[in-house]
Structure 1
Amino acid sequence: MAHAAAKAAGDPAAVLTEYKRMEQCEGAGLPYPAENGPCPPADGAVPLPDCGEYPPLLHLWRHTRTTPNDPWGPWTKVADASCPQDVLPAFTAEDFRRLPLAPTTTQLHPNDPNLLTGLGIVVTATPTTQELPTTLLGFPITVRATPTEYTWDYGDGATITTAHPGEPFPTTGRVRAGTFPPGVIGHPYPRLGAYTITLTTTWSGEYLIAGTTTWRPINGTATTTTTHPPVTIHESRSHLVADTCHDDPTAPGC
């Protein structure tokens, strides 16, 4: 295409070179292009690759001449036959970031908008891989996105970045307030207030061109953001009272 554009623009060098896709014949053991139609049966043609649902690109040939008035020289082969999907450009990180990746599904433990200072909140993410269909220069491809990193922002200035999606807080055993077992991602809020928790997930990607079986890496990453409704942190205070909260639900601390 670039050569045709240069020739149409009157580039002097372009009229001295021509390119053409043709079969390759094998006459007397010497390869030559099928310039005037299919290769003769006695010679036969070099087999073309199996490109699945797409027709293969024939061998690329070139011939040249010294001046525009000279005859053309013999054809020489520039490139073997190939599949169109094998000569496509790479699917870039910019392409990856334009895809509608779904934000990561998350869970807060406890799932309560009202919490107490010091006790903390535990967060988990669901490490789900996504596959999205799209196209690359008109060829259908499938992009596979895999979560590789999670950055939690607790809204009070504290953040944590981890490759682990986290685990729910254990329901058995005694755990001291504000401490978290291995694998559990949590944060004890030290101050009263309303805070919005967000998760930024970093995704790595690879893509599969239709008709092929090899997943190709995408050189770069994409991110999504999951935002939770605000949580409000309250303070728990001890009081000496004469009755229990069952006796007087409006008593201090009830």
Structure 2
Amino acid sequence: MIIALLGTIAVLSLPADPTVSPDPFKPGVEIGDIELRKPAPAPAPIRVRNPGVPEPAPVEQETDPLYCRPEAPFPQEECIPMPEPANPTEAPEREVTPGDVVEAVERVGLPRLRVAVQPAGSTLVNLETIFHTSAAPFEETVDILDSTVDLRATPASYTWHHGDGTAQTTTRPGRPYPALDVIHRYRRPGGVSARVDVTYRVTYRIDDGGWQDLDTTITAAGPATTLRVREARPVLTR
């Protein structure tokens, strides 16, 4: 019993593990006996991956574009090539539209026809007064955008304004006396201003292509012609 007890005391009295640093704050411990150890690194954060959510794309390291150029004095060894500037796409060339043709025709101007009246200068109340005009083919070439456009205008109708508030429309330009194609009877004496407005049908072609009809017609108002309407009175003579 005594031997067993002594063995136990001997085991308990063994010196401490020399690899364990003594407590520096206990009395009797010198600084030289303290073993300095680096602090343990912090554990890496645990990433929990959700299968339903895609992982973000890795962020590329930015580089200075100045040192990515071949002529840079100190180019970077690992340089992200700069993207080539995109060539601006040229806008497609706009084609000539019927609206462009209408604007060109109005800018050039179609012939304004003068009305001829018989009897000339003056007429009588209730007399058949004759109206007529002369129309010539109209052709013109204009530049629209980058194209050459040929124009042709043909009278489609004539609107005769008698000057007394009345008017009539025909498809013919009328003819002088003795023809009676376009006539009018004035009911009251006085001065009037007659005119004829011509409505044209226009065809065009672009760069010697095929001829096309313009969907709309264009009207050119004619200049006024002054006319004196007189009243005839019967006079008895012997």
**Structure 1 length as normaliser, TM-score?**
0.52
Structure 2 unmatched ranges of 5 or more:
1-82, 84-92
Q: Distance in 1 between matches of 2:199 and 2:225?
A: 21
Q: Which residue of 1 aligns with 2:95?
A: 88
Provide the residue aligned with 2:155 in structure 1. 147
Q: Rate the CA distance shift 1:156–1:226 in 2: closer, same or farther, 3 A.
A: same
Structure 1: distance between partners of 2:155 and 2:166: 22
**Alignment partners' CA distance in 2, 1:211 and 1:116:** 53
Tell me how far 1:207 sits from its aligned partner.
0.9
- DSSP 3-state at the match of 2:222: strand
What residue in structure 1 maps to residue 220 of structure 2?
224
Q: Secondary structure at the match of 1:98?
A: helix
What's the offset of the Cα at 1:104?
2.2
Please say if residues 107 and 123 of structure 1, whose CA atoms lie closer than 8 Å, have aligned partners that are also in contact.
yes
Match of 1:215 in 2: 211
Partner of 1:185: 182
CA shift, 1:216, in A, is 1.4
TM-score normalized by the length of structure 2: 0.55
Q: How does 1:53-202 map to 2 (within 5 A)?
A: 88-92=95-99, 93-110=102-119, 112-170=120-178, 180=180, 184-202=181-199
Overall identity of the aligned pairs, in %: 26
CA shift, 1:105, in A, is: 4.6
The structural deviation recorded for 1:233 is 0.8
Structure 2 distance, partners of 1:96, 1:229, is 25
| C-alpha contact 1:122 1:185 (8 A) present in aligned 2 | yes
Cα deviation 1:211-254 (Å, max 9, x = unaligned): 33x11111211111112331111111111234xxxxxxxxxxxx
Shift of 1:116: 1.1
Question: Which string of whole-angstrom CA distances, capped at 9 and with x for unpartnered residues, describes residues 61-80 of structure 1?
Answer: xxxxxxxx8xxxxxxxxxxx
The one-letter amino acid of 2:217's match is T
Do the aligned partners of 1:140 and 1:210 also contact (CA within 8 Å) in 2? yes
SS of aligned partner of 2:108: coil
Deviations 1:91-111 (A, max 9, x none): 32343333221212542222x
Equivalents in 1 of 2:96, 2:207: separation in Å?
14
Report how many residues are paired.
148
1:234 alignment partner in structure 2: 230
Alpha-carbon distance in 1 for matches of 2:107, 2:197: 16
- 1:34 corresponding residue in structure 2: none
Task: Please state which structure has a larger fraction of its residues in strand.
Answer: 1
Pair 168,102 (structure 1): closer, same or farther in 2 beyond 3 Å? same
**Whole-Å separation in 2 of the counterparts to 1:229 and 1:170:** 21
Whole-Å separation in 2 of the counterparts to 1:138 and 1:100:
21
Amino acid at match of 1:115: T
Instruction: Answer yes or no: is the 8 Å Cα contact 2:114–2:224 preserved in 1.
Output: no
CA RMSD of aligned residues (A): 2.6
Q: Distance in 2 between matches of 1:220 and 1:94?
A: 12
CA contact (8 A) 1:97 1:221 kept: no
Report the residue type matching 2:175 in the other structure: E
